[in-house]
Structure 1
Amino acid sequence: MRSRVGTLLWRAGLAALLVCGIGLLPWLSRTDPALTVLKARSADRDATPEVLADIRAQLGLDDGPLHLLGQWLAGLPRGDAGRSWISGTEVMPDVLQALGVSLLLVAVALTVAVVTAAGVCARTLYLGARRGLDGRPAGGSGSAVLAALPEFLTASVLATVVGVQWGWLPALGWYGPQWTVLPALALGLPAGAVLGRLLDDQLPAAFAEPWALAAAARGLPGRSIARKALRRCVPGLLPNLGLFVVGLTGGSVAVEQIFDIPGLGRTTLQAAIAQDLPVLQAGTLVLVALAAVTTGAARLAARLIIGPALRDGALHTLHRPPPTARRILPLAYSLLLFVVIALGLPRDPLALDTRARLQPPSTAHPFGTDALGRDVLARVAHGALDTLLLALAISAIALTAGILLGLAPRLSGPLVDTVNAVPPVLAALLVAAVWGSGPTTPVLAVAVVAWAPLAAHTSALLREERATVHLTATRALGAGPWYLLRSELLPAALPPVARHALLRLPGIALALASLGFLGLGAQPPSPEWGLLLAENQPYAERAPWAVLAPATVLALLGALAVTAAGALRLPRRRRTADPEGPADPAGPLDPADSIGPAGPRAGEPPAPEAKLAGAR
């Protein structure tokens, strides 16, 4: 009970700290809030001292940020979040209306994501139900292309082709269910591909558990076994599903901008740009509350699905050393990416040739040229160095922070919810306000939020691993906490979380590209990928190669990340006596380690008892 109260206080403190930090944003950025509000109300009006003084008097800016923040907090218990500094209307009804729009869009997008994830795992479920798996996920790398598709690019293509050219579905506005299809596809396809890959990574181990082997031996239908294996793997992914809900609610800014959707993400972004603090604070507070509710629902659903096995320590580990993964595809994708970069680096990405504007691919320009006659191959290759290096560095930092914070779920749980409630775009605006705009702004903004899914995944895996039979037996043999952490828990959590970090690598590159697309990252004439997509999007119909080239390289990066994640393994090694732990804690304490169609573990000789049994 005391720990729950402490967690609630920690969560409330983090939310208050975030909201108060946003309330101090204009003063932290050393800008005049009255001038910003004036430009947002009427860009053509002159900023005379009299006009600015009148705005300060209307908003009470002369009383200072603490007084304004106190007034805003005092009205919250009554449901009063103040009035907008720009429009003068009440904030809470507008924010709740925007939340309803975003929740409807997220519900349809999650439906698309679930269908996409089912398609990614379909082959693995089929093979596992029919004849078992060899420990390697059966899914291919096609889902990597979906995961690496930029949401804003997918939204633009769908709006232009399906909505405008073909006229099948409406492309702009928000007037009914038909207007949700195209933006939901743009949001749900990448999210479903990532969730499907995470689920596909755990299914082989579930099919190799003792209950699945016994059920197959007794002749239970494969469909029933597949359904129970799916149920076994879902609880470990529910925290990430909750993060997707909050991330899609506040982070779908680019999609809402393209389709002109009055959602919460777009409302929050516009308020942040105009420094409309009451709207920005209310939107952020709603996102934090949504994150807390979603996380609580995800944990409750995980407990209901697993049942008393989580409490009684009766689970079997899903971590097992699989066979050697195929390395042909990662090498092939790496070679293709290396060839693109090697061919483009000798070229000048800034050379202008107005006589060769929007030229199609040719021998002189393999990827064609852009609207200024610059070589697209050169710009893609030079932009790849910055994008890839930054994405790798952010991924490494996020993995380290996610593992460390995932070890302390009571500390990291509320922190994950609070951080996840801040969309990368809003984080970029906050960083730009305090740190200043520039090429480092998107890096800091993405690094601040990139660790949250990895920490949630680590906490979920460790919670299930602590409830396994073999860990209970190892603890009963006298193993201490540090021994269990070093020899059992970390070896079980590190490989799947590291593979998850690799799967997130294209997403980090996409987040950097999205901020560049929205003008919050690198500025022209930089060849950064997001800026390339933003510059060439108006010419997508006339010169599609200018957009397809960076999008294809992003998809290639996603395929490389997925196949490399499949090759990343950290098999457990058999240990001898350890002075810090039991005599042989890695022995066959878990039936899943000793029962299976292949007998003993791969690469190990049969046990002496097995030889004697065979002789008899």
Structure 2
Amino acid sequence: MGSRVGAPLWRAGLAALLVCGIGLLPWLSHTDPALTVLKARSAERDATPAVLAEIRAQLGLERGPLRLLGEWLGGLPRGDAGRSWTSGAEVTPGVLQALGVSLLLMAVALGVALCTAAAVCARTLYLGAHRRLAGRPPGGSGSAMLAALPEFLLASVLATVVGVQLGWLPALGWYGPQYTPLPALALGLPAGAVLGRLLDDQLPAAFAEPWATAAAARGIPGRSLARQALRRCVPGLLPNLGLFAVGLTGGSVAVEQIFDIPGLGRTTLQAAIAQDLPVLQAGTLVLVALAAVATAAAGLVARRLVGPALRDGALHTLHGPSHTLHGPPSTVRRIPAIAYGLLLSAVISLGLPRDPLALDTTARLQPPSAAHPFGTDALGRDVLARVAHGAIDTLLLALAITAITLTAGVLLGLLPRLSGPLVDTVNAVPPVLAALLVTALWGSGTATPVLAVSAVAWAPLAAHTSALLREERATLHLAATRALGAGRWYLLRNELLPAVLPPVARHALLRLPGVALALASLGFLGLGAQPPSPEWGLLLAENQPYAERAPWAVLAPAAVLALLGALAVTAAGAGLLRRSRSTSSQQGALTVELAGAR
């Protein structure tokens, strides 16, 4: 009972701490809110002392941040979130209208994501339903490449090609549900590819469980087998599905800007840049509440799908011997990873001898040629050279952040009562807002983007760890090992972690390209890589305005980024699955050893 009461209090405390931190943001960052608001209202008006004093009097800044925050909190029970500092309009109606737009877009994007995930898993479902998984290689790397594509790049291509050139669907603006398809595709395709890969990773083990073997022996139709296998695997991914829903609502800033959609993510970002604290606080509070609702709904659905087996400890592990169903010869697994690695190494080797900063204004936006295999950018710089030189810093920094977030995600995932509300709160914070908070506390520097991305990127890994641990603790073999006298640390070291680490590590590697893009996106606020740095994501951002005239300038870094995603996933499939099988083959020996020790 205490935990049921403590979790909501912990969640409410975290939300209050976040809102208070946002309310103190201008004072923590030592910036003048009056000056920022003046620039947001009118960039041409001079910031004279009299004008700034007038704005301070209008906003009540002389009363101090704590007084302003207390007055804002006092109005919330009445539904009054104050008035915007920049426009003077009431905050509550505007935030609720933006929330309605984002929820509609999120619903359609989730539908696209689920369809994409189904397409990724279709081959495994078909083979498993017909008992033909043994000796088959895992799913292809096409889904990994799709998961690695930047959302804003997909949005730009869809808006330019499908919306403008072909005229098939509305491209810009927001005048009703008919404007949702293109932005929903840009948001849903990468998210669905990630979900599909995670689900495809568990399906072979579900088809190898005793219930599936018995059902097949009794002649149960393959369609029923596939449906039950999905029901077995989906609960472990529902927490991440809830995180995706919140991320699609608050983290779709770039897509909303490209398509000119007045959603909650864009509204929150504009308020953060303008330091419009009432709007920023209200938007963040709504995102936190949405995260809590999504998490509660995901947990309820997961319990309904698993049923009493989760309570009674009657599950079979999805990370044990059943992985041998997905186990072709190791050479077959390594071939794609080796090919992608060689291709990426070739690109870097060919580009490193070239000068990434050499300007040639007479060769601006030149197409690929023998002299410039990847073409040139808007300043005449060689794109191949910039991609190759940006690879070292991008890869090292992204790998370091991935290692940090994987470690933090696993450690916090082991403590679900602590990390559950924390995951919801952190996931509700857009990366840009996290970067602003980090800058306010530690200042701008080389470590700022690392801290900002690390602060939010661990949340999906922690949710995945907690969900897998919850199911693994309800397995029969763990109950038997516990009955033989195994202690908590023995079970954690020899049973739980070996079962959970491989799928969570593959999940972390699947997010590696996204980490690289998140680092680059912070450059727009002066918090990350800045021109003329050849960082990959920054190359995409710099060349995006020329995507229609010179598509090679955007497609080259995007293709290399997608290649990185395919390499990460195939390398994980070639190495970590074998570790999972070797670990599972030792379970019987460990149990016998433990029994002998008794």
Q: What TM-score does the superposition give when structure 1 sets the normalisation length?
A: 0.92
Residues 101 and 262 in structure 1, CA contact (< 8 A), matched pair in contact too: yes
- Is 1:418 aligned to 2:425, yes or no? yes
How big is each residue's C-alpha offset from its partner over 1:466-513, in whole Å with a ceiling of 9 and x where there is no partner? 111111111111111111111111111111111111111122122223
Aligned residue for 1:583?
596
Can you give the 5+ residue segments of structure 2 that lack an aligned partner in the other structure? none
- Is 1:90 aligned to 2:102, yes or no? no
2:457 to 450, 457, 482: 450
Aligned residue for 1:372?
379
Aligned residue for 1:469?
476
Residues 121 and 197 in structure 1, CA contact (< 8 A), matched pair in contact too: yes
SS at match of 2:175: coil
- Aligned partner of 2:255: which letter? V
Aligned Cα RMSD in Å? 1.7
Aligned residue for 1:171?
171
CA shift in 2, pair 1:75/1:577, >3 Å: closer
Aligned residue for 1:574?
586
Deviation at 1:33, TM superposition (A): 0.6
- Aligned partner of 2:48: which letter? T
1:500 to 504, 507, 510: 507
Residues 509 and 569 in structure 2, CA contact (< 8 A), matched pair in contact too: yes
Deviation at 1:256, TM superposition (A): 0.3
SS at match of 1:360: coil
Deviation at 1:346, TM superposition (A): 1.1
Q: Distance in 2 between matches of 1:250 and 1:479?
A: 44
CA shift in 2, pair 1:357/1:382, >3 Å: same
- Is 1:385 aligned to 2:395, yes or no? no
Identity among equivalent pairs (%):
85
Q: What TM-score does the superposition give when structure 2 sets the normalisation length?
A: 0.95
Residues 520 and 529 in structure 2, CA contact (< 8 A), matched pair in contact too: no
Q: Distance in 2 between matches of 1:530 and 1:216?
A: 49
Deviation at 1:519, TM superposition (A): 6.3
SS at match of 2:511: helix
SS at match of 2:180: helix
Aligned residue for 1:609?
none
Q: Distance in 2 between matches of 1:504 and 1:138?
A: 19
Q: Distance in 1 between matches of 2:395 and 2:474?
A: 39
Residues 112 and 188 in structure 1, CA contact (< 8 A), matched pair in contact too: yes
Q: Distance in 2 between matches of 1:583 and 1:471?
A: 17
Q: How does 1:142-181 map to 2 (within 5 A)?
A: 142-181=142-181
- Aligned partner of 1:533: which letter? L
Residues 481 and 591 in structure 2, CA contact (< 8 A), matched pair in contact too: no
Q: How does 1:113-512 map to 2 (within 5 A)?
A: 113-134=113-134, 138-321=138-321, 322=324, 323=327, 324-325=329-330, 326-512=333-519
SS at match of 2:377: coil
Aligned residue for 1:47?
47
Aligned residue for 2:543?
536
Q: How does 1:90-109 map to 2 (within 5 A)?
A: 90-109=90-109
Deviation at 1:340, TM superposition (A): 0.5
SS at match of 1:497: helix
Deviation at 1:430, TM superposition (A): 2.2
- Aligned partner of 1:90: which letter? E
- Aligned partner of 1:144: which letter? A
- Is 1:60 aligned to 2:72, yes or no? no
Answer 1 or 2: which has greater helix percent. Answer: 2
Deviation at 1:438, TM superposition (A): 4.6
Q: Say how many residue pairs are matched.
A: 585
Deviation at 1:584, TM superposition (A): 8.2
- Is 1:547 aligned to 2:554, yes or no? yes
CA shift in 2, pair 1:472/1:79, >3 Å: same
Q: Distance in 2 between matches of 1:136 and 1:45?
A: 67
CA shift in 2, pair 1:471/1:136, >3 Å: farther
- Aligned partner of 1:501: which letter? A
Moved more, 396-405 or 382-391: 382-391
Moved more, 119-128 or 170-179: 170-179
How big is each residue's C-alpha offset from its partner over 1:175-219, in whole Å with a ceiling of 9 and x where there is no partner? 022210000000000000000000000000000000000001111
How big is each residue's C-alpha offset from its partner over 1:247-273, in whole Å with a ceiling of 9 and x where there is no partner? 111000000000000000000000000
CA shift in 2, pair 1:520/1:171, >3 Å: farther
